[in-house]
């Protein structure tokens, strides 16, 4: 049972929110921290993002993702709006609960997911889309920057 989750924050203490997610999710692998421009939604501040790999099935990953968001005070007011913590299940083994789409339907077009994912698994494959490193290379210039000064 393996799940890959993307974590991000652009409200409040962004790094503290990512660290909270890591404590709740208890991953076996954690990427570095990446700073990224927001994708879609209203104008908002940049995100800090990371990817974690957990020993969970999709049901467990989704439950812990929701717990982490709740612990961070996440409110869902504006779609793709700013958030204290966003945790997405990117890929996970079955069973998959109703309402969760796995693999994540937009993961293949998001450098803020793919770049940190290659750090934790250089040979990762996004089911139905291909090798993560190839998908990342095909995206061209997206505003993602590795933050070597920040650690989870």
- Higher pLDDT, residue 80 or 48: 48
Q: H or E segment at 126? A: strand 125-126
Residue 38 has pLDDT above 90, yes or no: no
**What's the per-residue H, E or C state across 53-76?**
EECCEHHHHHHHHHHHHHHCCCCC
User: Which residues, in sequence order, are CB contacts of 97 under 8 Å at separation 6+?
Assistant: 58, 59, 62
Q: Is 145 a catalytic residue?
A: no
Cα–Cα distance between 67 and 140 in angstroms, integer? 34
Read off the pLDDT of each residue in 76-105 and give the average, rounded to a whole number. Answer: 87
Q: Which CATH superfamily is domain 3-146 in?
A: 7,8-Dihydro-6-hydroxymethylpterin-pyrophosphokinase HPPK (3.30.70.560)
pLDDT band at 108 (very low <50, low <70, confident <90, very high): very high
* Per-residue confidence (pLDDT) for residue 141, from 0 to 100: 66
Q: Which one from 46, 88, 121, 147 is the annotated catalytic residue?
A: 88
Q: Which one from 13, 23, 76, 86 is the annotated catalytic residue?
A: 86
Cα–Cα distance between 57 and 93 in angstroms, integer? 5
Q: Is 74 a catalytic residue?
A: yes
Q: Is 106 a catalytic residue?
A: no
């Amino acid at each position: 049972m393996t799940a890959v989750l993307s974590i991000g924050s652009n409200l409040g203490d962004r790094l503290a929110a990512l660290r909270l997610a890591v404590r709740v999710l208890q991953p076996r692998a954690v990427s570095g921290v990446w700073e990224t421009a927001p994708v879609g939604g209203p104008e908002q501040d940049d995100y800090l993002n990371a990817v974690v790999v957990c020993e969970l099935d999709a049901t467990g990953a989704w439950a812990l993702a929701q717990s982490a968001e709740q612990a961070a005070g996440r409110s869902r007011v504006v779609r793709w709006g700013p958030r204290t913590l966003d945790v997405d299940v990117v890929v996970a083994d079955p069973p998959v609960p109703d309402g969760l789409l796995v693999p994540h339907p937009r993961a293949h077009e998001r450098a803020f997911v793919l770049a940190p994912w290659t750090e934790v698994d250089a040979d990762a494959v996004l089911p139905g889309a291909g090798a993560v490193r190839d998908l990342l290379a095909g995206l061209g210039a997206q505003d993602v920057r590795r933050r070597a000064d920040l650690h989870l």
